[in-house]
Chains A and B, each alone.
Chain A
Amino acid sequence: MTAFFLTLYVLIWPVIVAGVLYVLGKAFIQEIRDARREGRPLI
């Protein structure tokens, strides 16, 4: 593996983690809004 590909190999994981963080954050906020709108507890 060249230094370029090793750099990509190391730095790709934080990018994927950021994507997961976005998906989870969006869903979490939506669930809080839904619970408030429906007048029920979040959990």
Chain B
Amino acid sequence: MVPDGAGLHQLGSWTVIGLLVVFYGGTLLMTLFIGRRNENADGYMTAGNKVGFGISAGSMTATWIWASSMYASATSGYTYGISGPIHYGLWGALMILFIYPFGKRIRAVAPKAHTLAEVIYARHGKSSQLMLAGSNIVGSMVSITSNFIAGGALIALLSPFSFTQGILFIGGGILLYSLWSGFRASVLTDAAQVFAMLGAVVIIIPVVFFAAGGSDMFVSGAARLTPQQSNFFSSEAFMNQGAPYIAAVLAYAIGNQTIAQRLFAVREDLIKKTFVTATVGYGATIIGIGMMGVMALYAGVVPLDGDTNNLIPQMAATYLSPVLLGIFLIMIVGALSSTADSDLSAMSSIMMADVYGQNIAKEGKANPKTMLFIGRITMIVATGAGLYFASGQLNILDLLVFVGALWGALVFPVIASFYWQKITNKAFTISVIVALACFIPVRFEWISMGGLTGLVVDLLSIVGIGVVLGLMAFGFFGLKTAKIVAAVAMLAVAPFAIGVLHDYAVLSGSLVAYAVSTLVCYFMCFRNQATFDFASIKDRIGDFDNREEANHSTPGTLLEKKA
């Protein structure tokens, strides 16, 4: 290790190359043990719909923990103080928890589906399907780019390699092990990567804590915190970090194909167990990592170049020994790889099932070999695009805000489509477009919020709160409880929200998107006399690949065939 001039330490070139070769080489070897000469197209997308608890819970945890979430949790701790990591990690964890009741319903309606958009196609038609699939693709593209940027920046900070060399190592490594077996490779390697990640978290947090001064740090550094930062119930942390994230809980869960893919992959009776375990695993990991931001605040650490994204690598490079710094590098590389490979699998599944399977091939005539070719080409193109966007170091998280709002607008129409017979394709499409049109001027503050406009935004935001909490209650307790929760929530917040909420553009923008899509969708449909037989979806969505040579029920891997 040599000091890099900024008081931090770096790993040597060969050490970094060795660590990456061991990590990606080991991962590739795992995928060779499950790879087939004739991969099954359905297996490439959902691994046969009967993955066990250990693998699926590990995969769900690893997928949801991405490098940016670690950095953002630490930033939240550094910015908002001791409650910051809770307001990032807890609500992020609840995204996994609150989707599982809806997931069970969707799985019951379409047990053999590959993507959520595919089920929407069977329920409504093309425009609704492509709207959801498009938002899934954009979200995964943003995620993969963000992970490449995090990986490149980390390698540039901790080694002599440049940012560009870093993203090429990461992108190449992920594509290498994901390309042949798709989701099967992703889900199995996720399960292995989660052990590396969680194991590193168990070691690194206590080591940094004691190296930074232990309990004494909280005494000597207390003067560095503002009253809001030292308050566990900080209103500033709640309004700026917690509340917008609570509003995003269902949006991110519905809009993310990586979650849907695991809902369709896990054995149906294990959905609840899998998602509850992943909730705890994700929450504890991300809140724990966020504590490094809190420790940095108490220790008086100033972020390198004023960028709070440097906090975690900076704390690691300051307080960890060379061996632990290597483990730290593997933790971050594991976090970004497990998410990026899931995004590649998600995008390939959408192109295979939604674009080719449902829209290009004639019904029932999709060629499994063509599907696999499209899936693999998608992975290569997506990796190339991710590297291109990452090399420009775009502020990709701004785009994520927009995608999050698009998902927010989709939440009610998507969820209601699986329970309410009256929803139509027209109502679905129009409600989402109108909600987006209302979201944009509110979120980006294009209009003055004085007078009547501010009041309308406040009222819509209150309805949005009712929609969010009502839908959360609906998943677990049914319609009657949901209506009560929504009504009580709206009445309870109204006195505090009117005249205030429109000042918080991020929060009110999201809530307006929820409210408008719900109101438009409801009023376009409630008089509708049409009915829909949900049992018919099961008959319209099934396996694409019934080739005998691609039957995966017996062992026989690439390695065995070569031997």
Report A's interface with B, CB cutoff 8 A.
1, 3-4, 6-7, 9-11, 13-14, 16-18, 20-21, 23-31, 34, 39-43
User: Do B199 and A13 touch across chains, with their CB atoms under 8 A apart?
Assistant: no
Residues of chain A within 8 A (CB-CB) of B82 are 1, 6, 9
In the bound complex, do residue B281 and residue A17 qualify as a contact, i.e. CB atoms below 8 Å apart?
yes
Question: Which B residues lie within 8 Å of A29 (CB)?
Answer: 54
Q: C-beta contact mask, B183-206 vs A, less than 8 Å → 1, else 0?
A: 010011001001100110111011
A39–chain B nearest beta-carbon distance, Å: 7
Decide if B58 is an interface residue (CB 8 Å cutoff).
yes
Q: Please measure, in the bound complex, the distance between the C-alpha atom of A10 and the C-alpha atom of B277, giving whole angstroms.
A: 21
Known: A1-B232, A13-B284, A17-B202. 6 other contacts (CB 8 A): A14-B201, A17-B198, A20-B277, A23-B277, A41-B557, A43-B51
A10 CB to nearest B CB, Å: 5
Bound Cα distance A1, B58 (Å): 34
Instruction: Identify the interface centre among A11, A13, A39: most chain B CB within 10 Å of its CB.
Output: A13
B338-379 interface (Cβ within 8 A of A) = none
- Give me the interface of B with A, judged by CB distance under 8 Å: 34, 47-48, 51-55, 57-58, 61, 82, 184, 187-188, 191, 194-195, 198-199, 201-203, 205-206, 209, 214-216, 218-219, 230, 232, 277, 280-281, 284-285, 287-288, 291, 294-295, 552-555, 557
**CB-based contact B198/A20 at 8 Å:** yes
The answer to whether A18 and B47 touch across the interface, beta carbons within 8 angstroms, is no
- Tell whether, in the assembled complex, residue B291 and residue A41 are in contact, meaning their CB atoms are under 8 Å apart: no
Residues of A within 8 A of B287 (CB): 13
Contact B555 A14 (CB under 8 A): no
The 3 A-B pairs at the shortest CB distance, nearest first, are namely A27-B54, A13-B288, A28-B54
Closest residue on chain A to residue B184 by CB atoms: A43
**CA distance in complex: A6, B209 (Å):** 11
The minimal Cβ–Cβ distance linking B233 to chain A, given in whole angstroms, is 11
Task: Give Cα distance in the complex from A30 to B54, angstroms.
Answer: 8
B374 to chain A, nearest CB (A): 22
Q: Does the CB pair B195–A31 fall under 8 Å?
A: no
Q: From DSSP, what is the main secondary structure of chain B's interface residues?
A: helix
Q: Are A20 and B55 in contact (CB under 8 A)?
A: no
Known A3-B219, A6-B218: A18·B202 in contact at CB below 8 Å: yes
Contact A24 B291 (CB under 8 A): no
**Min distance, Cβ B80 to any Cβ of chain A, angstroms:** 14
* A24 and B57 contact, Cβ closer than 8 Å, known pairs A3-B219, A40-B554, A41-B554: yes
B55 pairs with A10, CB closer than 8 A: no
B52 touching A31 by the CB < 8 A rule?
Answer: yes
Complex contacts, A30 vs chain B, CB 8 Å: 54
How far is it, in angstroms, between the C-alpha of A42 and the C-alpha of B30 when the chains are bound? Answer: 12
Is the pair A7, B218 in contact by a Cβ cutoff of 8 Å? yes
Q: Which of A4, A10, A16 contacts B209 (CB 8 A)?
A: A10
B70 smallest CB distance to A (angstroms): 13
Least Cβ–Cβ distance between B106 and chain A, in angstroms: 22
Known A-B contacts A14-B288, A40-B553; A21 and B199 likewise in contact (beta carbons under 8 Å): yes
Which residue of chain B lies nearest to A13 when distances are taken between CB atoms in the complex? Answer: B288
Q: Which A residues lie within 8 Å of B191 (CB)?
A: 24, 28
Q: How far is the CB of B223 from chain A (nearest CB, A)?
A: 13
Beta-carbon contact of A14 and B205 below 8 Å: yes
- B222: nearest chain-A partner, CB-CB: A3
Contact A17 B201 (CB under 8 A): yes
- B202 to chain A minimum Cβ distance, whole angstroms, is 5
List the A side residues contacting B61 at CB < 8 Å: 20, 24
Q: Nearest A residue to B286 by beta-carbon distance?
A: A13
Report chain A residues within 8 Å CB of B199: 21
Taking a contact as CB atoms under 8 Å apart, the answer to whether B202 and A11 are in contact is no
Other-chain residue from B47, B184, B195, B288 in contact with A24 (beta carbon distance below 8 A): B195
Interface pair A10/B195, CB less than 8 Å apart: no
Complex partner residue of A43 from B187, B215, B285, CB under 8 angstroms: B187
- Given A16-B280, A17-B285, A43-B34, check contact A24 B552 (CB 8 Å): no
A11 to B191, CA, bound (A): 25
Complex CA distance for A34 and B295, rounded to whole angstroms = 44
B198 with A31: CB separation less than 8 A: no
Using A6-B82, A6-B215, A21-B199 as known contacts, say yes or no to A11 and B34 having CB atoms under 8 A apart.
no
Q: Once the chains bind, are B281 and A20 in contact (CB under 8 Å)?
A: yes
Q: Are B195 and A21 in contact (CB under 8 A)?
A: yes
Please tell me if the beta carbons of B284 and A16 are within 8 angstroms of each other in the complex: yes
Cross-interface CB contact of A21 among B202, B288, B554, cutoff 8 Å: B202
CA distance A42 to B36 in the complex (A): 13
Complex CA gap A19/B198 in Å reads 10
Residue of A nearest to B188 (CB): A43
- Can you identify 20 A-B contacts, CB atoms within 8 angstroms? A1-B82, A3-B216, A3-B218, A6-B218, A14-B205, A14-B288, A17-B201, A17-B288, A20-B280, A21-B202, A23-B277, A24-B198, A24-B277, A27-B52, A40-B553, A41-B34, A41-B552, A42-B188, A43-B34, A43-B47
